[in-house]
Structure formats: C-alpha cells, structure tokens
Amino acid sequence: MTREQSVDVLVLGSGIAGLSYALKAAAYGSVAIVTKKERAASSTNYAQGGIAAVIAPDDDTALHVRDTLVAGAGLCHTTAVLELVQEGPARVMDLIEWGVRFSRDAGDFSLGREGGHSTRRILHAGDFTGKEIERALLQAVAEHPRIELYEDTVAIDLLVGTVGGDTNDASRCGGALVLDHHAGELVAFRASVTLIATGGIGQAFRHTTNPDIATGDGIAMAYRAGASIANLEFVQFHPTALYPAEQRAFLISEAVRGEGAVLRTLDGALLPIDHPLGSLAPRDIVARHIDRYMKDSGSPHALLDLSPIPTAEIESRFPGILAECLARGIDIRKEPIPVVPAAHYACGGVLTDAEGRTTIGGLYAAGEVACTGVHGANRLASNSLLEAVVYSHRASEQVPSELGIRCHDARVRPGGDSVAAVAPAGMTVTEVRAGIRDRMWESAGIVRRSSEMRDAAIELGELRSMSEAIRAANPLDPEAVE
C-alpha cells in the first residue's frame, strides 16, 4: 500500500542545484528534499576545480560570454549564456552568505584558470570546492525549519495529472512516487511544485568521474512523464581522469593545467594538440586528441606533467589530488600522472526555459539534469556549478505563482514509447547495467561512428526491455528501480 505525504515544494536531488533551490523556495512554503543516498553523495561533492564568475577587476562579462560560446562549439543559446554570466556574481555571493569559504590570497579571492578560459576567474576552496559547497548548503538546510531532507529515498516516477481533472486539460506534475529504503514502502509525495535536480548520466558509461548515483533517472522520469528532452548526444568527456579509470574514475582537475601542467606522450614529448591554447584547450578538444593518441600509438594513457608548477604550490593548491595519487603510488611532485578521458558531464537533459520550467506544468529542472542551452555541445570548465545556482535561483522565484495549484488525478504515467518487457533470461541488474555501460562506452563515447551506433541501438533496446522486466518484477528493490 502506498503512503501519502503532502508538501508545498518537492525537490528531487541534494546537489548544489537542489539545496540552493530548497533554501530559497522555503521562503514561500514547506519543502521536502528526496535524495537517493547519503546527502553528500552528489557530483557537486566531487567538483574539484571551482565555480566561474566575473569577479576580478581585469575580467569582464563579454570575455566570459565569449569563452562559453567558443567552448560550446557555436551551439549555446546566447541569451541563456548572458543570463548565466551576468547573474553569476550575485549567486556566488549567495553561496558566501550561506557559509561557503572560498580560498583567498591576501584578502582577495584566489582565482584559478582552467581550460577554455581567457583569464583567471575560478573561485575555489583548494581542490575541495564541491565538498565545501555541499558542507555549507547542507548545514543551512539542516538549520532551516521549513525544510525536511529524506536520505536513502529513491524517486521512481513523477505523478502527472491535470488541474481540472478533465483529460483534455494540460498535463501538470503533482509530485513523485518515492521508494523509502528504510521503511521498504512506497510514498506518494504530493506537491504544488516539483524540482528535478538529480544530476547527470555518467554511470551510463564504463568509465566516469561521476558518483554511483549519477544514473540518469531524473531524465528518465521526466521522459516517461512526457517532458521534452534535448541535446543528450552532447556528453562531455573530461580529458584527465587518473589511469586506470575505475567505475568512478578519480578526476585530475583542469585547474592543474591552469597552473601550468602540460600533457605529454609516454616518451615524454608534448602531446600534439591542434589549438592555440594547447593543453588548456576546451575539454572536448583535449579529450579527442588524447583519444586519438591512444588509438594511434596503442598507449593505454597519456601523461600529465606537473613539473612546471612549484612543489610548494602543488602541496597548497592541490592537496586532495596529491594525497589520492600518493595513495596509488604516484608522487606528482616528482613524476607525471597517467591520465585518460572519462565521461564527465551531460550538456543536455530535461528541456527548460529561462526560469527552469519544463514542458509539464508544475515541473522544474535545474543543474546537470536540465538543458538550459547554456553549454551547447561542450561545457566550459567550472560553468556547471554556476549554472546550477543561477537557474535554481530563477526557478525558485516562480514558487509563489505555483503554490496552491493541485492535481486532482496525479498518478504515474506510462512512458510514451516504452518497449514491451521481456523475460530477463536470468540476467541480474548488475549484469544489465554493465552491458549498458560497456556498449555506451564502445559505441557512443568520445568518437562515434554511425554503423556502430546503429548496432548499439539494437543491443541497448534489448537491455532496456530486460531492465524494465526486472523493475516491474521487483518494485521495492532499490537496485532494480534506480
């Protein structure tokens, strides 16, 4: 039996987008945050580099806009980029007011530089920026009387109905069906407004820098509910994950190259990168050059040489990377880091307008799960955290107009073109997921070919039907529904 619970605002996800939105939405009503795992298990928490914003006196909006448009390969929505850059500094100030402690140098912000940026504009907290942001936001959420955070709860599907109850009325989201791991029961969270902030799709690939929870379920829920999805073909592969890349690869921040590190081949030569910025070119360009080098030479990885960076600076600026590499037997102060590309960020997702609205009434999206048009075909480094706070803020400003609107018949809507479920033929959830990740890595990775993608589509269709059969047979199994 499904338990019912009502709230004014429902937030799915506890990264920077969901938490910052919740803190602002709580000014207008009660807020429930549903998060899959432990509250700090999000891509935000793993963000090393920082957040880009025009703060320095020698920087300006036009430069940041230009850098973003160039990185996006001409496919960014210019208006969205302008909104992002112009409103970014104010949203950074919000983070500081919530208690985020960015690194400073003699009182001023210590600004880093990353690939694709024409100047230093990356605010950071050492190389633990995401962890520091999560810390501050979670503390602010815990202290807010109108916010309840539900850990180890999985949103399974959106509840969609109509305002008037007439089937001819426009669709509206009325909350979500959630699995409570602890109680082992389903909960129908009914809300006037719902925000999806569930992060990306990195776990769809064999090698990724994303946490285990980045399984794309927010996009899938929105798709099944009938929301428009856009630009999912634009997946960014971070060029420098520590080799060997495990299921969740350890990221070597782009800020390392921003401080002077360069990419080399295994014989010590500079890795040839056909771009004026060389090793500091936008991520998609660098990732493709490393991929080409590996395939042409048969090398398992490239090398990231930190010798141009003074030892003291490595120790003070990148303590997390230094410690992780030392734990794996690599002293980055004396030897290069073996690196390979890994799936990192989804530039597409649930289509939204400038205020975070999706194509379903009452349903909003922010953060990596959303497609605002800001990133185009390739995200500029450190624009992700910025996009999350800018567009979650814009979405929060719409809450007053949504409160009090309720669906009379909100329920789970079957996906429009859902394939028929078939017997799983003895396959487990783990085996199905492994099959998806392997096929996506091989056929929909950094470099793609039409023939391989057509073959992959057939195999992925079969894996999808197996997954749906397992899910239908095990509705209360967390592994099956995530």
Q: Which residues are catalytic?
A: 283
List the beta bridge partners of residue 32: 10, 148
380 near 280, Cβ under 8 Å?
Answer: no
In this structure, the strands spanning 108-109 and 104-105 are antiparallel
Sign for the CA dihedral angle at 180, 186, 190, 196 comes to positive
302 near 290, Cβ under 8 Å?
Answer: yes
Q: How far, in Å, CA of 2 to CA of 49, rounded?
A: 43
291 near 207, Cβ under 8 Å?
Answer: no
Go through 84-121 and write b for each residue having 16 or more CB atoms within 10 A of its CB, e for each that does not. Answer: bbebbeebbeebeebebebbeeeeebbbbbbbbbeebb
297 CB-near residues (< 8 Å, 6+ apart) = 265, 266
Residue the block writes with tokens 């890349």: 245
Indicate the residue type of 52.
Answer: A
Sign for the CA dihedral angle at 229, 474, 479, 463 comes to negative
Kindly list the distances between the CA atom of residue 385 and the CA atoms of 25, 87, 124, 202, 295, in Å, as whole numbers in the listed order.
Answer: 19, 13, 11, 17, 33
Tell whether omega for the bond before 244 is within 30 degrees of 0, i.e. cis: yes
Kindly list the distances between the CA atom of residue 129 and the CA atoms of 98, 219, 239, 279, in Å, as whole numbers in the listed order.
Answer: 14, 26, 20, 23
Token pair for 273: 């990168």
